[in-house]
Structure 1
Amino acid sequence: MDDPVVTVREGKVRGKISTDFDGNHFYSFQGIPYAKPPLGDLRFKAPEPPEKWNGILDATENGNECYAKSNIYTGSEDCLFINVFTKKIQAKFLKPVMFLIHGGGFISGSSHSIMFGPEYLITQDVVLVTFNYRLGVLGFLCLDDSTLGVPGNAGLKDMVMALNWVQYNIKNFSGDPNNVTIFGQSSGGASVHLLMLSPMAKGLFHKAIAQSGCALNVWARGKKHTVHLLADILGIDSTSDKVILEQLQKISVKELYNSSNKLADPFYVGKVRPFGPIVEKKSAKSFLSEEPIDLIKSGRYHKVPLIMGYCSREGIFVYAMCTKGTLLNDETIVPYSVNLRIGSDQYNSTVNSIKKFYFNDRNPLENKDDIYRLYTDNFFLLDMYNSARYLSETGNSPIYFYKFSLDTTLNSMKRFYSVTEPGACHSDELSYLFKNGLTPEDIEPKSPEYVGIKRMIKLWTNFVKYGNPTPNEQNNLLSTSWKPLESSRFNYLDIGEELVMKTDPEKKAMYFWNNLYNETSVAKAKL
């Protein structure tokens, strides 16, 4: 087989031949520009269409990751690249498209194949698209002065630009632009949900999968008024948005991030993060100009079939990564959306109620699973549970909900944190959808790991193809029919070593939290 060459709107690209999980060949195209490099005067602004090139672009390696910091700074500002993986080029029958939005809390992450190897999903005769979008201050700075073109959400607008690129070009990779499923995990899952709410994304996708994240999660929100705090840190002696923007566009990206990170609070539910998705001032170019909850409850969103769900012990990640292995202050317990003044009598009473429910006067450090359950519920599940309910009530498309509890040696995040308690950690399900740097070279056929991979990719790609994850008669791999939410039943699929249909995930906890919100609202109304 010769190296493949495909023509896109901007020019020709040369890919390479790769091998999938089943040992068959597929084509990889990586590092294709889907927007103009957001440099200089374009820093912080909405993306612009890519420029054309002459000759054949080498698309055989990952493009630059977007600038971010984990332990060290990595990546580049010139990072708006897209990747396409396909079995065939210009096939007679077009294939469903899966469009991945990576996670990382809107401050880190990338589409690099070391984390999102296509080898599993590509076996199912789909076209897989991955891409990078701007992160942190570069992707989510906002200014009040609307004439400056920095209203916020540039990173989300990158996603829209990438989806537009798919509409224009994916046919040449045998992808069907009329059958695009957006999917993502964590902040990628929240982004999927935000795209469902954004007028800017109308008609660009047809199904959605939100894994461990939604638009209502309290961590999926940014502050509007951080630019003047950032200017103070950098010593910019002006209150003019125009002057501050000019200075911010001139300084080095490392200095910009060193300064912006001084504003960054820990990953708490009790605080709004400095750089993340916001509600913009209304304009024709707004990604989001109304509160997500208002759009959801009113039914003003893109009604498409949806899979939404969570890992059984998301909170392992919060405890190990964000609180550094200790139960920290009350701001890790009470979400800011409860809207109570920190330190007030009602706030302290709420803290005590939550501790009583989860710990029942026990020392939480003696049974860490209590902590994991708390952080699973208040950081992730509660808002996803309520989102699914609202969407089911106001929409006309099926909502499939899941709880991922499978626990094998592929649960790489749980192993990374050295946790022995049963359950699946935040991000663990990704190891069954994508090959990554921790994946064993040999996965024994019929092992729980092998079956888990085959089952997950079949559920996800069935949904992509048919809008139903279990459309056919039951078989050994898919042993039950996945029922969507019903008006009087919150159905969900427990994805463990077996597939089991259940109702009302964490029923007592969801009742407790929703009742707590209702009680605090009533109490505030009486003040």
Structure 2
Amino acid sequence: MGDPIVTLDQGTLRGSTSTNLRGQVFFKFQGIPYAKAPLGQLRFKAPVPPEPWTGVLDATKEGQISYQRVPFQKGMVCGGENCLFLNVFTKKVPTDDPNPPLRPVMFWVHGGLFISGSGNEDLYGPEFLMTEDVVLVTINYRLGILGFVSFEDPSLEVPGNAGFKDQVMALQWVQTNISKFGGDPNNVTVFGESAGAISVHLLVLSPMTKGLFHKAIAQSGYALNASARRGCTLLAKTMGLEGVDDKIIYDTLMQKQVDEIFEIQERILKEMVPCQRRLFSYVVEKNSSNPFLDEEPITLMKTGRFNQVPFMLGFTSGEGMLFDMFSRTISDFESVVPWYFGYEPGHPDVKVVANQIKKFYFGDEDISPTTKAQKYDMLSDAHFIFGLYTTILSQYSNSKAPTYLFRMSVESRLNFLKNILKIEVPGACHLDDVGYLFKNFSTPKIEPDSLEDISISRFVKLWTNFAKFGNPTPDENDTLLKTVWKPVTNDNLDFLDIGRFLVARRNPYSDRIKFWKQLFAESPTGRKTLTP
């Protein structure tokens, strides 16, 4: 079999072949530019369409990633600014058939706190999803200061959200080109995990994305996870430019090399408190003619001003285990209070709330090796579960399309991060679900009919069913799934527990959510706008 060739309006691509988990052949096209390189005067700006090329582009190698400290590689720094590339994986390349059958498209957005990650195969190998008849797209986008710096001075044309606009540009590329790879531009599902899931939720809420996708899956992330603050004050302080206007800060950054900008970013990250609003995430654009976001996400959810598409979202049973990755110790429970509770740092009420949290999870005990499970529950609820609950109740009632909720609890050799962190407390860690959808550098050999093999098949079937039909369990007689996943219909939240078996359940962690609801109702923000 020769190398696959695909011709786009931009030019001709030469790809490569590989085999999926079941030994079947599929095609790979990697390092495809979906936008013009964001260099020179395009630094920090919204992306612009890609330029054509001459000859045949070698699409057998992955493109450059955004400049970053690469996770799981001993802090190695690599990448660059010319990073707007995507990869396409497909089981069939259209031939001379003028009306070839088109297949659902799954568009993956990687996580990494908006400061690391890529769409590359080291974490997101396509071998599992390519067992189903879908077309998979994975992307890179700009990270950190390069992707998320924002200025209020409209003359600078940097209102923020460039990294999210990269994602929109990639979706536009899909609409124009994916049929050449056998993909259906009228059946696109965006999906992502962690920061990628936050991105997915924001894509659902953005006015820029209407018609660009038709379903969405958010794994362990949602918009309330990552509200950003405008970073000029902190940038200026870090750069020794306090008191100057936006243009001086912008001009100074434009004169720096990418490694110098990264060094500034590293210094900023060391000063940030975990539960504060982030510097590298979305901002509401008030002075932009074509904003990615024109209102706060909670307002868009409550008013129904979002893309009305089927939405699947969920969490792992031990999300809080993630913080072992950062060696986070909790000596001050005030740092656990989420930003969206509306307290200013140091406010006396924060200490009262912090004491209530400590008492609820630990009683008279302290954090110790014997109370790890309570610590993980607390961090899960503060950083993931309650915000997810708030999101569901705020959004599903204003959506004309179904909302599906899941909890991932299966534990096996594929639980990616939990196994790396060597955590022995029961539960599935943040990021663990990704190991059942994508092959990665730590994936063990998959033995036929093992728990790993069966769980991969279930995950892939549920996710691709949703991409195909907008319903993860359309066939009640499916011998693999053997269950019906009900959508959310009221405040009693139906969800699917994806464990050793698939079990339909209702109202996850009801006692814990009740506690956080009470705390939230008493907070400044809860009394105003965010109450479900």
Same fold (TM over 0.5): yes
Give the aligned partner of residue 402 of structure 2: 398
Give the aligned partner of residue 481 of structure 2: 478
Q: Distance in 1 between matches of 2:328 and 2:35?
A: 41
Note if contact 2:334-2:350 (Cα within 8 Å) is conserved in structure 1. no
1:70-149 correspondence runs (5 A) = 70=70, 71-90=75-94, 92-149=100-157
CA 1:329–1:38 in 2, change beyond 3 Å: closer, same or farther? same
Give the aligned partner of residue 20 of structure 1: 20
Give the aligned partner of residue 218 of structure 2: 210
CA 1:450–1:523 in 2, change beyond 3 Å: closer, same or farther? closer
1:339-488 correspondence runs (5 A) = 339-365=342-368, 366-440=370-444, 442-488=445-491
1:168-183 correspondence runs (5 A) = 168-183=176-191
Worse overlay, 185-194 or 241-250: 241-250
SS of 2:448's equivalent? coil
Deviations 1:393-447 (A, max 9, x none): 111111000000000111121011110111100000000000000011x211111
Note if contact 1:265-1:274 (Cα within 8 Å) is conserved in structure 2. no
Runs of 5+ consecutive residues of structure 2 not aligned to the other structure = none
Q: Distance in 1 between matches of 2:466 and 2:399?
A: 18
Give the aligned partner of residue 158 of structure 1: 166
Q: Distance in 1 between matches of 2:456 and 2:224?
A: 29
1:245-264 correspondence runs (5 A) = 245-264=250-269
Note if contact 1:306-1:400 (Cα within 8 Å) is conserved in structure 2. yes
CA 1:94–1:175 in 2, change beyond 3 Å: closer, same or farther? same
RMSD between aligned residues: 1.7
Q: Distance in 2 between matches of 1:88 and 1:524?
A: 54
Note if contact 1:268-1:331 (Cα within 8 Å) is conserved in structure 2. no
CA 1:282–1:479 in 2, change beyond 3 Å: closer, same or farther? farther
State the Cα distance separating 1:238 from its structure 2 match: 7.6
State the Cα distance separating 1:228 from its structure 2 match: 4.5
State the Cα distance separating 1:516 from its structure 2 match: 0.7
Q: Distance in 2 between matches of 1:148 and 1:463?
A: 42
Q: Distance in 1 between matches of 2:243 and 2:314?
A: 46
Give the aligned partner of residue 499 of structure 1: 502
- Matched to 2:265, the amino acid is S
CA 1:381–1:189 in 2, change beyond 3 Å: closer, same or farther? same
Runs of 5+ consecutive residues of structure 1 not aligned to the other structure = none
Note if contact 2:34-2:86 (Cα within 8 Å) is conserved in structure 1. yes
SS of 2:211's equivalent? coil
- Matched to 1:155, the amino acid is G
SS of 1:309's equivalent? strand
State the Cα distance separating 1:233 from its structure 2 match: 3.3
CA 1:266–1:503 in 2, change beyond 3 Å: closer, same or farther? farther
Give the aligned partner of residue 284 of structure 1: 289
Worse overlay, 248-257 or 175-184: 248-257
Deviations 1:422-473 (A, max 9, x none): 1100000000000000011x21111111111000000000000011000012
State the Cα distance separating 1:327 from its structure 2 match: 1.9
Q: Distance in 2 between matches of 1:128 and 1:204?
A: 15
Q: Distance in 2 between matches of 1:168 and 1:131?
A: 16
SS of 2:497's equivalent? strand
CA 1:523–1:303 in 2, change beyond 3 Å: closer, same or farther? closer
State the Cα distance separating 1:274 from its structure 2 match: 1.9
Counting aligned pairs with the same residue, the percent is 47
Q: Distance in 2 between matches of 1:237 and 1:355?
A: 38
SS of 1:416's equivalent? helix
Note if contact 1:312-1:424 (Cα within 8 Å) is conserved in structure 2. yes
1:217-366 correspondence runs (5 A) = 217=225, 220-224=226-230, 226-235=231-240, 239-265=244-270, 268-318=273-323, 320-322=324-326, 324-365=327-368, 366=370
State the Cα distance separating 1:247 from its structure 2 match: 2.3
Q: Distance in 2 between matches of 1:153 and 1:411?
A: 32
State the Cα distance separating 1:236 from its structure 2 match: 5.2
Q: Distance in 2 between matches of 1:258 and 1:191?
A: 25
State the Cα distance separating 1:240 from its structure 2 match: 3.3
Give the aligned partner of residue 56 of structure 1: 56
Note if contact 1:410-1:449 (Cα within 8 Å) is conserved in structure 2. yes
Q: Distance in 2 between matches of 1:233 and 1:345?
A: 28
Worse overlay, 151-160 or 252-261: 252-261
SS of 1:122's equivalent? helix
Q: Distance in 2 between matches of 1:238 and 1:349?
A: 35
Q: Distance in 1 between matches of 2:490 and 2:238?
A: 52
Q: How many residues align?
A: 519
- Matched to 2:495, the amino acid is Y
Deviations 1:475-515 (A, max 9, x none): 44202100000124310000000011111111111111111
Note if contact 1:40-1:250 (Cα within 8 Å) is conserved in structure 2. no
Q: Distance in 2 between matches of 1:524 and 1:296?
A: 17
Note if contact 1:469-1:482 (Cα within 8 Å) is conserved in structure 2. yes
Q: Distance in 1 between matches of 2:384 and 2:12?
A: 43
SS of 2:187's equivalent? strand
Q: Distance in 2 between matches of 1:113 and 1:232?
A: 38
Q: Distance in 2 between matches of 1:444 and 1:520?
A: 51
- Matched to 1:402, the amino acid is F
Q: Distance in 2 between matches of 1:21 and 1:34?
A: 28
- Matched to 1:47, the amino acid is P
Aligned pair 1:167/2:175, yes or no?
A: yes
Note if contact 2:152-2:287 (Cα within 8 Å) is conserved in structure 1. no
State the Cα distance separating 1:196 from its structure 2 match: 0.6
